[in-house]
Amino acid sequence: MLIILGVIILDWVSKWWVIKNNWLYETNTGGAFSLLSELKWYLGIVIIILALLTGYWWRMRRRFKESEMVGLSLVLGGAVANLIDRVFRSGVVDFIKIWVFPNFNLADVAITAGLTLIILSEVRSKYGTSGTNDSI
């Protein structure tokens, strides 16, 4: 729970700072890569449903590895942070620009890192070692 709140707070503070200091940013009213921008309320509903389903999966699965817990927390924190932007700013503030990639924000970084942890954890449990160490 602390990771989820930490992601939300760090994302909100970073966006507040960017806007307050007039940094260059874009407001993304769509989904990833500005897709479906005319369906922003639909996106909000989809995010809420996915968060609820993830929470249900989290609760129903009795034993999680530490890396899976951290990964799910990062994904949920990022999704909720971007949902807060959609509700209160009518779009997500994207301010990080790296070369040819689309602009993104800290919530997007958390989602990507969380999904990476989950995938690596699953791959490791299927093909990896049989040791008890959970570090990736």
Alpha helix stretches (DSSP H) within 38-65: 40-60
Q: What CA–CA distance (Å, rounded) separates 25 from 101?
A: 14
From the list 11, 85, 108, 134, the catalytic residue is 108
Catalytic residue flag (residue 108) = yes
Q: Residue 28: in which H helix or E strand, if any?
A: strand 26-28
CA-angle at 59, arms to 55 and 64, nearest 5°: 105
Q: Residue type at 129? A: T
Q: 51, 38, 67, 48: which is closest to 135 by C-alpha?
A: 67
| Distance separating alpha carbons of residues 58 and 114, to the nearest angstrom | 14
Choosing from 11, 85, 94, 134, the catalytic residue is 94
Q: How many CB atoms lie within 10 A of CB 35?
A: 10
Catalytic residues: 94, 108
